[in-house]
Structures are given as structure tokens and as C-alpha cells.
């Protein structure tokens, strides 16, 4: 079973994503900011992290930088979510990171998850 860490400071969004992942057979961890997510990633070694970009504490970009600078976390794939694509400067910043523009469907998220984890991608 693959474990996915979901990071978003909006509890309703985080909970909906976690529920959708669990219904598909994934284990899910939760954090409400990038700093807590980084600490959790160091101890739990998730297979994938899905993070919001804009958060009040420890943005997704801060999380990405921390993950990349630590040998324990630098290889964890990352999907970043944002409702503010242009202002976040998300597209094209890092080709190893997949970006999803909010709002998105759970099906769109699951396709991205499967792609990042190298699983069979649903059509």
C-alpha cells in the first residue's frame, strides 16, 4: 500500500483529498503546513506528497526546497496544488514537480497520483 502525505491549510480540502485517496486504497497522512509536512516526511517517508502552494505557514515552495535539501526526502515525488497559478509562479518552475490547478476533480488528482507513482494510469 502506497502512503501519500496531503498538505493543505484548508481542512475541508485536505479531508476531501484524504478521503478520496483512502477510498482508492492508499494510506494517507495529513499536515496543515509545509514545516509540519517536512518533519512528517522525514520520519514517515511517504511515497508521494500532495501539497498546496499557498499556505499561511510554510508554503508549498518552502516545503519543496526543504525536501530537496535533505537526503532523506529529496527523492519523494511531489504534486503541488494551487488556485493561483500565475501569481504562484508555479508552471515551469521545476519539471520534476507536477502542478494541479484548483479546482480539480478527484479523478484528475488520481491520474496525477498514479502517474507520479508509476502506476497504471486510468483513462
For residue 80, what is the domain's CATH number? 3.40.50.2300
The residue range of the domain holding 69 is 3-117
Answer whether residue 123 is part of any domain: no
Answer whether residue 122 is part of any domain: no
Q: 0.85 exceeded by the pTM?
A: yes
pLDDT digits (tens, 9 = 90+) for 64-112: 999 999 999 999 999 999 876 555 555 555 667 888 888 899 999 999 9
**Which ranges of 2-105 does DSSP label H, i.e. alpha helix?**
11-23, 34-44, 60-68, 85-88
How far apart, in whole angstroms, are the C-alpha atoms of residue 59 and residue 37? 10
pLDDT digits (tens, 9 = 90+) for 3-47: 999 999 999 999 999 999 999 999 999 999 999 999 999 999 999
Q: What domain count does the chain have?
A: 1
| The predicted structure's pLDDT at residue 92 | 56
Top-confidence residue, 52 or 122: 52
For CA atoms 22, 27, 30, 34, the dihedral sign is: negative
Amino acid at each position: 500500500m502506497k502512503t501519500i502525505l496531503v498538505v493543505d491549510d484548508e481542512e475541508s480540502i485536505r479531508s476531501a483529498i484524504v478521503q478520496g485517496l483512502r477510498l482508492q486504497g492508499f494510506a494517507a497522512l495529513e499536515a496543515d503546513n509545509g514545516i509540519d509536512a517536512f518533519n512528517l516526511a522525514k520520519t514517515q517517508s511517504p511515497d508521494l506528497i500532495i501539497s498546496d502552494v499557498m499556505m499561511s505557514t510554510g508554503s508549498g515552495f518552502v516545503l519543496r526546497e526543504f525536501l530537496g535539501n535533505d537526503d532523506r526526502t529529496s527523492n519523494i515525488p511531489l504534486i503541488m496544488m494551487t488556485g493561483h497559478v500565475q501569481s504562484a509562479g508555479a508552471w515551469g518552475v521545476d519539471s520534476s514537480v507536477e502542478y494541479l490547478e484548483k479546482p480539480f476533480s478527484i479523478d484528475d488528482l488520481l491520474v496525477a497520483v498514479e502517474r507520479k507513482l508509476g502506476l497504471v494510469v486510468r483513462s
